[in-house]
Structure 1
Amino acid sequence: MKKLFNACLLLLLFSKAATAQNAGKTFTNPLMPSGADPWVTYKDGFYYYTNTTGGNIVIWKTKDVTALGTAPKTAVWSPPQGTPYSKELWAPELHFVKGKWYVYFAADNGDNNNHRIYVIENSSADPTQGTWEFKGKITDSTDKWAIDASVFENKGSWYMIWSGWEGDHNGQQNIYIAKMKDALTIGSERVKISSPTYDWETNGNLHDGKLTHVSVNEGPEILKHGHKLFLTYSASGCWTDFYALGMLTADKNSDLLNPASWQKSAQPVFKQSPQNSVYAPGHNAFFKSPDEKEDWIVYHANSNPNEGCGNKRSPRAQKFTWNKDGSPNFGVPVKDGEQLAVPSGTK
């Protein structure tokens, strides 16, 4: 009995020591020097991360999402040359749907006008293992220009959201939603739920001291909390410092294919912080800490003004909280090099 007591005491002390050690562990942003359109998902004790490379699909695997710089990464799929999806692979997202892994991404043949959404599939338990199989294009009946696809489940049904054009020419990017028949097929007509309407959604470049006008809503992502669905999206030109996150809100019991179910916030919910030297924050994703006690946002941003939307955009992460009305409070982008505690429960 005494040996058992001593063993339990040692286990308790070890647990407290590990907790104390974890409590003192910190990280700094950016997580890596470069990496636009970051995406994170968590399964079976590991975080799987991906971002835009432009030419292939790469997945990082780690128990500590803040240590991406040293995490092993695997190039899991590259497109064959000479196809409609050989070039400009943008914003890959990794999702586990009904027992299989899927990566949804946008690609074209070198002409941006031909960007569409494509998908690859893997039945392995670990997305960095097994075989990724190209499954084709995913589109609604209009087959219009589309990028930045994400999928989510609500009340047993799956939906896809993306950024697209109303017609065949680059004039305005809107947010669309459609119900999915399965992980590879859109099963309804697309519905437009957001268009750029506020000034902060339509900032372009400066010319002769005046801002040019653009109309961009892109990078939609879903965040669930209570009975609400929050859809964040990126607004204004990504090449400007004014790139920022807007938000739509819907009740989970509403008809998500009805545009009236989605209410747009009048102000951006996350934007540049010149005082912290963080510019053009956007195209985010959300994740929980390993112990599921904390909510985190990952996003890309620039460390200096006028750096555009090239390879200087770097992935960053920070914890966020909730307002009394149940809406998310993302705060202000934290400055480069600021010491932050790692997500709780990180090993």
Structure 2
Amino acid sequence: MENEKILNPIIIQRADPMIYKHNDGYYYFTASVPEYDRIEVRKAKTIEGLRNAEPVDVWRRHESGEMSNLIWAPEIHFINGAWYIYFAAAPDKNIEDDTFNHRMFVIQNENENPFTGNWVEKGRIKTAWESFSLDATIFEHNEKLYYVWAQQDINIKGHSNIYIAEMENPWTLKTKPVMLTKPELEWEIKGFWVNEGPAVLKKNGKIFITYSASATDVNYCIGMLTAEENSNLLDKNSWTKSQTPVFKTSMENHQYGPGHNSFTVSEDGKHDVIVYHARNYTEIKGDPLYDPNRHTRAQIINWREDGTPDFGVPEVDSLEIETPVKA
């Protein structure tokens, strides 16, 4: 990472990117594929090495049923000696009902190497009510395991809010959901009323949860919640919501709609890194969801004197790529 720069894009046509650095020294990567039909994982010794790493399909959608359509936003984690991938899936498409009906699921691999052994379906992560739900992430803190996700409440205007709960185990919630944020600010309700894609970063005695807002076009951006690390994380009042986006479109750098991020660290361990997707053009034909050119990017995070992250702006692409066919 010469001059603290990462050459972008890391991987083309991979949205909702997740990079996890394991204690074996490898970076593990997964993301939504344009076909939304499978979960793939790749690994490399460096972040940029993921670009040419061989993807391995570890799970494919079912032919029918609740895990048969629109496989979204997988995340890979290692918890208590086993690998877990959390993801959202929808049931068979009902041509009479064009609404999304996702639920959250998790698969487990108890092998030390996630590319061998069996990925076992642990089932659906059940919350307190039935509704559109997606984008789960997990984190451990003070010997407790927490689950953070996006879900719709039909009594609240909008498509999804961000919730947190403690977990009994990696596939079961222990406590009732607590809503941390809902789409309400001007930059959260452009195109769609959305809070989704949470990601957790712990640093400087604080816990930060970033999330994405608005439609998945040029308006897509990232907001942030902040809590003190010793506060009650299941108390909404422990969290402070940023009133402006912390990461958004850069017209100057031709980076549009940055969002659905994750966090990792640099190879030398000295820098925190934000991983996100963005497009390099604004003219999208049809539904942005089916435009495949949200590419995975990453950049170094700077830190302010008050201990909060400064994500800056999405950096200009440093690699020339052939613009893939637009949907």
TM-score of the superposed pair, with normalisation by structure 1: 0.85
Whether 2:194 is the aligned partner of 1:223: answer: no
Compute the RMSD of aligned alpha carbons.
1.9
Q: Distance in 2 between matches of 1:169 and 1:327?
A: 30
Match of 1:45 among 22, 25, 29: 25
Tell me which amino acid in the other structure corresponds to 1:132.
W
Gaps of 5+ in 2: 94-98, 321-327
Match of 1:234 among 187, 212, 215: 212
Q: Distance in 2 between matches of 1:202 and 1:334?
A: 25
Match of 1:323 among 304, 309, 314: 304
**Who is 2:12 aligned against?**
33
Larger-gyration structure (1/2): 1
Residue 6 of structure 2 contacts residue 299 of structure 2 at CA under 8 Å; is this kept in 1? no
Match of 2:108 among 95, 104, 121: 121
Q: Alpha-carbon deviations, 1:270-297, whole Å to 9, x = none?
A: 0000000000000001101122111111
Deviation at 1:84, TM superposition (A): 0.6
Tell me which amino acid in the other structure corresponds to 2:310.
N
- Within a 5 Å distance, the mapping from 1:164-179 to structure 2 comes to 164-167=151-154, 171-179=158-166
**Who is 1:301 aligned against?**
278
Match of 2:253 among 271, 276, 281: 276
Q: Distance in 2 between matches of 1:27 and 1:267?
A: 26
Whether 2:247 is the aligned partner of 1:260: answer: no
Match of 1:311 among 256, 276, 292: 292
Gaps of 5+ in 1: 1-21, 205-213, 340-347
Residue 138 of structure 2 contacts residue 145 of structure 2 at CA under 8 Å; is this kept in 1? yes
Deviation at 1:69, TM superposition (A): 2.5
**Who is 1:159 aligned against?**
146
Q: Distance in 2 between matches of 1:169 and 1:132?
A: 36
Deviates more, 1:136-145 or 1:34-43: 136-145
TM-score of the superposed pair, with normalisation by structure 2: 0.90
Q: Distance in 1 between matches of 2:303 and 2:3?
A: 24
Q: Distance in 2 between matches of 1:153 and 1:27?
A: 28
Whether 2:174 is the aligned partner of 1:195: answer: no
- SS in structure 2 of the partner of residue 68 of structure 1: helix
Residue 235 of structure 1 contacts residue 244 of structure 1 at CA under 8 Å; is this kept in 2? yes
Whether 2:277 is the aligned partner of 1:290: answer: no
Match of 1:93 among 75, 86, 89: 75
Deviation at 1:260, TM superposition (A): 0.8
Percent sequence identity over aligned pairs: 40
